[in-house]
Amino acid sequence: MRSDVTLRPLFVLLFALGLTACGSVEHRPSERAPNNRVAAVAWQEWTKFGRSTVVYGGSAAGHTNRSGLSERSEPLASRVGEYWATCGRPEWNGRSGKPWSGAFVSWTMTKAGVSSRDFPASGRHGSYLADLYDRDRSGRAGFRLHGPDEYAPKAGDLVCTGTTGASWRNADRATARRRIDQSASHCDIVVDVRGGYVHAVGGNVRNSVSMSLYPVDSRGRLVAVAGRPWLLVAENRAD
């Protein structure tokens, strides 16, 4: 009969492997489409074009779990043209060398049925965010803008970075609008929040439609990530 002493190392190894496997599941993107319409459209585009995934923060910072289809390859190159058509530039596509992350957000909102009254399509993040800010301040907003440390993102929201960070929060109205307009650099669409991460899909990330995993604190709010100065979270109340 094999002794307990002999078996103990095997049990320890199996237990450790089990913990590793369980831990890795938390960082995996969801295999199911979200219920929120905006999040579902973004998730479907991500699935269609290769599920490119990038993890920010923590021990896996900057790790690319999976590469997706390149913007210069079909069918994504033509699909980027559809994104741009939503913004009035149908002549551009994935081979045009134009940053298309704003066009991706605008196309997703339109595809999900969000009206132009609630979300004004634009290829520039700063342009549509500044308009959302105006509408929020006037009390007729489909989206409400929050500082990144004030609100926990949920599916269908936008998480946005900018060169000046969240300095707009303490500025007068005109200055705040200008800072949002001029400094916004990128927005992703939140599709899930779990395992200590916001799972958010964006266009023109690693030259594809990619899902980024951003760490959150115990309240579910975004935490600082190197190279990603958080500007704001746009809460989706239109969907």
pTM: 0.86
Residue 28 and residue 138: Cα distance in Å, rounded?
40
Average pLDDT of the residues in 128-139: 94
Which of 9-13, 55-59, 125-129 comes out lowest in average pLDDT?
9-13
Q: What pLDDT score was predicted for residue 29?
A: 61
- Cα torsion angle, 128, 134, 139, 144, sign: positive
Average pLDDT of the residues in 181-195: 96
More confident residue, 49 or 27: 49
* Structure token pair of residue 40: 């579902």
Residue 164 and residue 172: Cα distance in Å, rounded?
15
Q: Which residues have C-beta within 8 Å of that of residue 49, sequence separation ≥ 6?
A: 68, 69, 76, 79, 208, 209
Q: Give percent of the chain with pLDDT exceeding 70.
A: 84
Confidence of residue 58 (pLDDT cuts 50, 70, 90): low
Tell me: the pLDDT tens digits for 140-178?
Answer: 789 999 999 999 999 999 999 999 899 999 999 999 999
Q: Give percent of the chain with pLDDT exceeding 90.
A: 74
Residue 68: pLDDT over 80: yes
Q: What pLDDT score was predicted for residue 61?
A: 56
Residue 211: pLDDT over 50: yes
Q: What pLDDT score was predicted for residue 140?
A: 78
Q: What pLDDT score was predicted for residue 6?
A: 43
More confident residue, 141 or 223: 223
Q: What pLDDT score was predicted for residue 60?
A: 57
Q: Which strand (E) or helix (H) includes residue 172? A: none
